[in-house]
Amino acid sequence: MIGQGSNDQHAQLQELYDNMAPEGLTPLWEVLHALVQDVPRSPAVVHKWAYANVRNYLMRAGDIISAEQAERRVLILENPGMPGQSAIVPSLYAGMQLILPGEIAPCHRHAQCALRFVMEGEGAYTTVDGERAVMAPFDLVLTPGMQWHDHANPTDRPMIWLDGLDIPTVRLFDASFAERLPEKVHPETAAPGDTLHRYGGNMRPMRGSVADRRPAQQPLFHYPYKLWRENLGNLAAGSEIDPHLGHALEFINPADGGSIMPTISAHVRLIPKGFETSPRRSSDGTIFVVVEGEGTALVDGQEHRLAERDVLAVPSWNELRFKADTELVLFGFSDKASQEKLHLYRELRA
Ligand code: GTQ
């Protein structure tokens, strides 16, 4: 907004704006400071979704609509600061997906990258390019862009997971492509766990050999809780704690050692009982899931109580601290992967 100016100038400017608006022209000086901010001021707000509450609505949806009819039976975790945008932070989408016993969610693929973080249930699976990732609580399963995926629950209990996708990022770039497979379910192409054995143990099939069957850029799609929890526990037992993060491990893509997918980074943290992390800001708005324990997130001084399976969205550049009442284990995902590629990522540790 321009400051002082005579009434006459204001009138002349308003006339100019009105005349040129139909031609797709508008004055920078009215919006410059909103466009080029000194620090990030996210339209997204800090918000916590208590798991029991989300689950309740999700089960109600389960009584009314099938997974197959819905294609994906998901409640979007929409940031209250960005109504109608299907975003949890400006660049990312999150939703809670329910697959009831005996249901399938039909096979499709799209440009958007997806992660699933399992909240409850065991034995249902996502099939990625025809290979089942059989899920257990707190497993991380990926469906990287344009890989075929369908979901099924052959167990007798509901299966619920958190979906994290880069839907708003892809929307920003106008680069969405999607297709359905004519069959509901992708034909099985490999035994469950095959990819984990080939690409998940810091090894890979020799390049060009018949065993090297997965896409070179994104071969791995399953990071079981059993493995990451053991690694995190061992790290916590044997290393100095980071004052700002607690004990933290990032999930990586074994193809290049980088983020799990081109647009999404993910990590886990362990904060010991009684520990309080030091204040930290980062430019990647982050979605946290409480895996174990209880505590408090202090976001710009405001307290948010945390219990198991709660989801907390912390937008860019909010000052964040965690206080652990019991040993606290967190999963987090963010757009750090995109920001680093664009040379935008920053953090500030106090
Ligand atoms: O499971 O493929 O929450 O395509 C949103 C879009 C889940 C999925 C979502 C999707 C999916």
Residue pLDDT, tens place only, 186-212: 999 999 999 999 999 999 999 999 999
Report CA(90)–ligand 1 centroid distance (Å).
18
Furthest CA-CA distance within the chain: 77
Tell which one of 58, 74, 179, 311 to mutate to probe ligand 1, the residue whose CB is within 8 A of the most ligand atoms.
Answer: 74
What Cα–Cα distance (Å) separates residue 107 from each residue in 8, 72, 183, 200? 63, 10, 7, 24
Q: Is residue 257 predicted with pLDDT exceeding 60?
A: yes
Q: How far is the CA of 235 from the centre of ligand 1 (A)?
A: 33
d(CA 186, CA 106): 9
Residue to substitute in 58, 72, 125, 153 for testing ligand 1 pocket (most ligand atoms within 8 angstroms of CB): 72
Containing structural domain, residue 186: 47-349
Q: How far is the CA of 74 from the centre of ligand 1 (A)?
A: 8
Atom from ligand 1 closest to the CA of residue 108:
2
Do the domain assignments include residue 198?
yes
As beta bridge partners, residue 312 has 48, 288
What pLDDT does residue 311 have? 98
Q: Is residue 131 part of a domain?
A: yes
Residue 298 has pLDDT above 90, yes or no: yes
Task: Give the model's pLDDT for residue 4.
Answer: 73
Say whether pLDDT at 146 is over 90.
yes
Q: From the alpha carbon of 112, which atom of ligand 1 is closest?
A: 4
* Residue with CA nearest ligand 1 atom 10: 72
Q: What average pLDDT does the segment 329-338 reach? A: 98
Token output for 47: 């918000």
Spacing, Cα 72 to ligand 1 middle (Å): 6
37 CB burial (10 A radius; 0-12, 13-18, 19+): exposed
Q: pLDDT tens for residues 87-145?
A: 999 999 999 999 999 999 999 999 999 999 999 999 999 999 999 999 999 999 999 99
In this prediction, residue 278 has a pLDDT band, given cuts at 50, 70 and 90, of: very high
| Residue that the structure tokens 């958007």 belong to | 112
Query: How does pLDDT run across 61-75, given as a tens digit for each residue?
Result: 999 999 999 999 999
Distance of CA 227 from the midpoint of ligand 1 (Å): 25
* CA pair distance 111, 168, nearest whole angstrom: 12
With a cut of 80, say whether residue 243 has pLDDT above it: yes
91 Cα: distance to centroid of ligand 1 (angstroms): 16
Per DSSP, the three-state class of 151 is: strand
Calculate how far, in angstroms, residue 125's C-alpha sits from the geometric centre of ligand 1: 14
SS3 call for 332: strand
Tell me which residue of 281, 266, 273, 279 sits closest to 336, measured CA to CA: 266
**pLDDT (mean) for 6-30:** 97
Q: Which ligand 1 atom is nearest residue 163's CA?
A: 3
Q: How far is the CA of 116 from the centre of ligand 1 (A)?
A: 9
Does residue 238 lie within any of the structural domains? yes
Residue 194 lies in a domain: yes
Coil, strand or helix at 24:
coil
Q: 339 CA to middle of ligand 1, Å?
A: 23
Q: Is 29 helix (H, G, I), strand (E, B) or coil?
A: helix
Closest CA to ligand 1's atom 11: 72
Give the pLDDT score at 1. Answer: 53
Q: Span 72-81, mean pLDDT? A: 98
Q: What is the rounded end-to-end Cα distance, in angstroms, of the chain?
A: 33
151 Cα nearest atom in ligand 1: 1
> CB within 6 Å of ligand 1 — which residues?
72, 74, 95, 97, 110, 114, 149, 163, 165
Count structural domains, the chain.
1
pLDDT of residue 2: 59
Going from the Cα of 93 to the center of ligand 1, the distance in angstroms, rounded, reads 10
> Cα 314 from chain centroid?
12
pLDDT at res. 112: 98
**Concatenated DSSP letters of 64-130:** HS-HHHHSS-EEE---TTSTTS--SBTTBEEEEEEE-TT-EEEEEEESS-EEEEEEE-SS-EEEETT
d(CA 163, CA 216): 24
What's the rounded mean pLDDT across residues 341-345?
A: 98
User: Which amino acid is located at 216 in the chain?
Assistant: A
Alpha helices in the chain (DSSP H): 7-20, 32-35, 51-64, 67-70, 167-172, 194-199, 225-238, 336-341
- Is 316 a domain residue? yes
227 domain-assigned: yes
Q: For residue 21, tell me if it sits in a domain.
A: no
pLDDT score of 260: 98
Residue nearest to atom 6 of ligand 1 (CA): 72
Nearest CA to ligand 1 atom 9: 163
- For the CA of 76, the closest atom of ligand 1 is 3
pLDDT at 5 over 90: no
CATH number of the domain to which 327 belongs: 2.60.120.10
The residues that bridge with 341 in the sheet, in sequence order, are none
Record the tokens describing residue 142, joined without a space: 């990926």
How many CA atoms lie less than 13 Å away from 137 in the CB half-sphere? 11
Q: What percentage of the chain carries pLDDT values higher than 90? A: 97
- What residues are paired with 231 via a beta bridge? none
Is 41 within a domain? Answer: no
Which ligand 1 atom is nearest residue 116's CA? 1
